[in-house]
Amino acid sequence: MNSNQANGQREQWGSKIGFILAAAGSAVGLGNLWKFPYMAGKNGGGAFVLVYFVILFLVGFTLMMAELVLGRHTQLNAIGAYRKISKAFTWVGVLGVLAGFLILSFYSVVGGWVINYVVKSATGALHTTDTGALGDMFGQLVGGTVEPILYHGIFMVLTLAIVFGGISGGIEKASKIMMPALFIMMIILAIRSLTFEGASEGVRFLLAPDFSAINRGVVLDALGQVFFSLSLGMGCMITYGSYLSKEENIPQSAIVIPLVDTGVALLAGLAILPAVFAFGFEPGQGPGLMFVTLPAVFAQMPLGRIFELIFFTLVLFAALTSSISLLEVCVAYVVDEWKWNRKITTMTLGAVIFLMGIPASLSNGPWAHIQILGERGFFDTYDFIASNIFLPLGGLMLCLVVGWFWGIDKAVFEATNNGRIRFGLAPIWSFLVRFVAPVAILIVFIRSIM
């Protein structure tokens, strides 16, 4: 317990860099490491990256600012923050907490698969170039009964252990270790990937935009990727922002965090796509790119087992930095509103989320025949409700609350530390949060539920 907690005050981040790393860690997750390279592969590479950068500024920076400003102004969890602006918006905060709860239920299952692959990498079980055998191995893990649930439990315990320590003693401390380690491992893998014969084709594909490839589908995919990659709309950044001191430079943080997140995504692209091109694999695959194609690539390179182990450890760190923020959204609500002890809250919520994850895991195997929403099983139902309904709706309402109901002048006043710091982009941000971002998110929302 730190002195703030002992005095009954709200706990705060121990340092600026600690907050930046934790917030960037929340944004950096499995979406950066397998979904970004796969989405770039599917959407013409450089064309997708260019559109992604434009939308990152128009929507990513805009919503990041809005959430951080709302969190620090209210010094409350996601539900409390919206209720403080107006009781009529309490439901928006509830959506965020429920989204975090649902996402972690299935995200932890995927985190368990990653731990299993770290173990397999260490034992050499993945060291084969036979993609058929690797596909069967992945299918057996995902479709299993006991094994995936066991690893899902291990992933939840790791997440609980970090959140247990609180903000500065748990989340910040873990982020200060995992995020730099993640960057170092990414750079090592990217350098190795770039040394392959034929790798330049992958680099050119990723970084040289073919403007003729930009179409409606590329724009919509980039819009969705920015939105979901940055943990926006679920209250993560409101919660993290609530632990900020009144001296923190929010506009600076709102620019740095999306740039760090995108830097990781680009490094992932440079680590994966040149190698995939060099060995003649297809870059536009889904989850198979990470769990089937990449092990086959590693098996063909010198010291492949070492690089394979580095890669899956890296993926585990990325998954954990996101999972701790998802759990913190839920924990902060219960600690703030119900005045429960943090450790009891963390263990209780962790147990409930673990139990929720069991049907999600089984829906890929023994319970695959059980349909909940349309033709979706538990796993896909959790994902659809959280990602396609709760998050876009939460993001849309965030723009409306901050831009229109609370008042843009009050938001800018908070962002500039009561006028003490310069925020030259204030007029542009005000326009984006009121007009551009809501329209963009509405498009994501309509498209995602169609």
Give the ranges where 124-249 is alpha helix by DSSP (H): 131-142, 146-164, 173-194, 199-207, 216-229, 236-241
Q: How far is CA 46 from the centre of its chain?
A: 22
Number of domains in the chain: 1
Q: Per residue of the chain (450 residues), give pLDDT as tens.
A: 343 444 456 789 999 999 999 999 998 888 788 788 888 888 888 999 999 999 988 899 999 999 999 999 999 999 999 999 999 999 999 999 999 999 999 999 999 999 999 999 999 999 888 888 998 999 999 999 999 999 999 999 999 999 998 898 899 999 999 999 999 988 998 898 898 888 888 899 888 888 888 888 888 888 878 877 887 888 899 999 999 998 899 999 999 999 998 898 888 888 888 888 888 877 766 667 788 888 888 888 888 899 899 989 999 999 999 999 999 999 999 999 999 999 999 999 999 999 999 999 999 999 999 999 888 999 999 988 988 889 889 999 999 999 999 999 999 999 999 888 988 999 999 999 999 999 988 988 888 777
Tell me the C-alpha distance between 198 and 278, whole Å.
5
Measured in degrees and rounded to the nearest 5, phi and psi for residue 306 equal -65, -45
> Could you tell me if residue 30 is inside a domain?
no
Pair 403, 433: CB distance under 8 Å: yes
> Could you tell me if residue 31 is inside a domain?
no
> Could you tell me if residue 314 is inside a domain?
yes
Q: Compute the C-alpha angle 342/345/349, nearest 5°.
A: 140
Could you tell me the pTM of the whole model?
A: 0.90
What is the per-residue pLDDT for 1? 35
Helix (H) or strand (E) holding 284, with range, is none
Tell me the C-alpha distance between 208 and 6, whole Å.
54
Q: Which residues are paired to 376 by β-bridges? A: 373
Number of helical (H) and strand (E) elements in the chain, helices listed first:
24, 0
Residue 64's CATH number = 1.10.4160
> Could you tell me if residue 386 is inside a domain?
yes
Pair 254, 66: CB distance under 8 Å: no
Q: What distances in angstroms separate CA 42 from CA 46, 104, 144, 223, 304, one per listed residue?
A: 11, 27, 29, 15, 26
Q: What distances in angstroms separate CA 322 from CA 69, 87, 135, 194, 206, one per listed residue?
A: 21, 29, 27, 28, 25
* Residue 363 identity (one-letter amino acid): S
Identify the CA nearest to 254 among candidates 121, 120, 402, 358: 402
> Could you tell me if residue 361 is inside a domain?
yes
What is the per-residue pLDDT for 7? 46
Place of tokens 């002195």: 3
> Could you tell me if residue 313 is inside a domain?
yes
Q: How far is CA 391 from the centre of its chain?
A: 12
On the CB side of 178, how many CA atoms lie within 13 Å of its CA? 30
Q: Which residues are paired to 373 by β-bridges? A: 376
What is the per-residue pLDDT for 3? 39
> Could you tell me if residue 1 is inside a domain?
no
Determine the structural domain holding residue 376 and report its residue range: 38-449
Residue 259: CB partners within 8 Å, gap ≥ 6?
Answer: none
> Could you tell me if residue 20 is inside a domain?
no
Rg (the chain; Cα; Å): 21
